[in-house]
Amino acid sequence: MGKIKLRGKDLSAIYYTTSKTKSLAIDLASRHFKHLSKQELLNLLQEVMEKPEDYASDEILSGLAQEFLPEPTLKTKEEVALLRETGRLQVYGRKAIASNALQQMELAMRLPIAVRGALMPDAHQGYGLPVGGVLATQNAVIPYGVGVDIGCRMSLSVYDIRHDYLMRNAYTFKQALKERTSFGTGGELGLAQEHEVLDQAEFQLTPLLRQLHGKAARQLGTSGSGNHFVEWGIAALQEGNGLGLEKGEYLALLSHSGSRGLGATVARHYTNLARKSCLLPRQAQHLAWLDLDSEAGQEYWLSMNLAGDYAKACHDQIHYHLSRYMGIKPVATVENHHNFAWKEMQEEGEEWIVHRKGATPAAKGELGIIPGSMTATGYIVRGKGAAEGLNSAAHGAGRKFSRQKAKASFTGSELRKTLSREGVTLIGGGVDEAPGAYKNLEEVMKSQAELVEMIGSFTPKIVRMDKN
């Protein structure tokens, strides 16, 4: 068939009104549809314009179809203000929260799928939701509302051993961290390991998860970079702590990390799919969502839950290897996710998808851990089940300085002096994680007194982090 010369006026005749759509159509015609007659081509292009949803996933025509799909309508700023006035967006510790984090949360509340939100007192700016943001949606999940490090969590083991045992055997405890933990992107432990999570059937249910199984096996029992840590310290428990232990001070082990390369790859993959299927203004693109009735939404939900199980398995292995190295066994554990989404039933009988991006689950009676910095005491808490806070609490002190600002504000010498003054040994780490880069955890706890009660504390003594 001869070459077809498609012109702008031909496209105007079928109501292509913008230069971008005309340019895309002419380019596609010359590259992919030389076999069609001019009329057949125009009929196809008109159908793409009239039924863009039918071509949104088409390998060739999806880009053109996206130009005709309507953008979801965000709630107006006035509606967001109303949500705050009626308590559907609750902010805790407002004075200590930077305006950019609040603006991120308010943008999330403008999504058509958003039904309720809460901002925790440790909140700071992040990607998608702010860190410390909690968002309830209806039948939709936002991959960047969960975060890149899916299932990032805290895990505490308490040992029925006097706390002074740690100081008397400090060298051996330090060696345990050096020899049985591994940090950083791509890090591997170098030990033969087995864990039932690697046998979960979900690893065989999508091509992406099958591809990631080998990496997951190699990275089992390791930790990430940034603010991830494993540390020996002292747990001070109050009466009625819910752990079945008497009031007193105990040797304890605390770890913080997530789902490693598995979670990061899942997050990026499904965020890209969400952005293609969910057109949003530029400033809201990291809040693209997946409908849970869609194939991609169901795949992400399955993958997210597997990544959460894997994150728990990593902590299981960390605590197993360190306990075995020291020849001790824990008598109690406390653990919780803080980068995850849950299906939660409401009193009204509705099911909401509750995203906690850097926020601790705090349903009534639920135990959790809210750590401080590498020198600051953190807290073991019990949730009060505050519905207005979406049964959530802070997940830490929260950053006061960005990593770059921390590096410009603190020196290695200052950090060493702080560690010496507080009696803390640090392996790895850097000034970007200096205690001064974080908010005052005591103030954070005061701001969320209605969300959790403190039942104990954890004070770090020997800390390992990635060498930044």
The confidence score (pLDDT) of residue 1 equals: 43
* Residue 436 burial (10 A CB sphere; 0-12, 13-18, 19+): middle
Confidence (pLDDT) at 277: 85
Q: Dmax of the chain from CA atoms?
A: 88
Other Cβ atoms less than 10 A from the Cβ of 267: the count is: 25
pLDDT in tens, 372-419: 999 999 999 999 999 999 999 999 999 988 888 888 899 999 999 999
**pLDDT reported for residue 15:** 77
Cα–Cα dist 449/426, whole Å: 31
Compute the half-sphere exposure of residue 165: CA atoms within 13 Å on the CB side of its CA: 14
What is the topology classification, in CATH, of domain 153-259+306-341+357-465?
tRNA-splicing ligase RtcB (3.90.1860)
- pLDDT for 115 equals 94
**151/226 Cα distance (integer angstroms):** 16
pLDDT (0 to 100) of residue 66: 78
Note whether 234 and 246 are within 8 A (CB).
no
State the virtual CA torsion across 204, 205, 206, 208 in degrees, nearest 10: -30
Per DSSP, the three-state class of 394 is: strand
Mean pLDDT of the chain: 91
Strand partners, 135: 117, 355
pTM of the entire structure? 0.83
CA distance 41 to 308: 48
Answer whether 468's CB lies under 8 Å from 434's CB. Answer: no
Contact assessment for residue 140 and residue 353, using Cβ atoms and an 8 Å cutoff:
yes
Fill in the DSSP letter of residue 110.
Answer: T
Residue-wise pLDDT tens digits, 134-190: 999 999 999 999 999 999 999 999 999 998 999 999 999 999 999 999 998 777 888
Domain ranges in the chain are 8-66, 153-259+306-341+357-465
Q: What parts of the chain have a pLDDT lower than 50?
A: 1
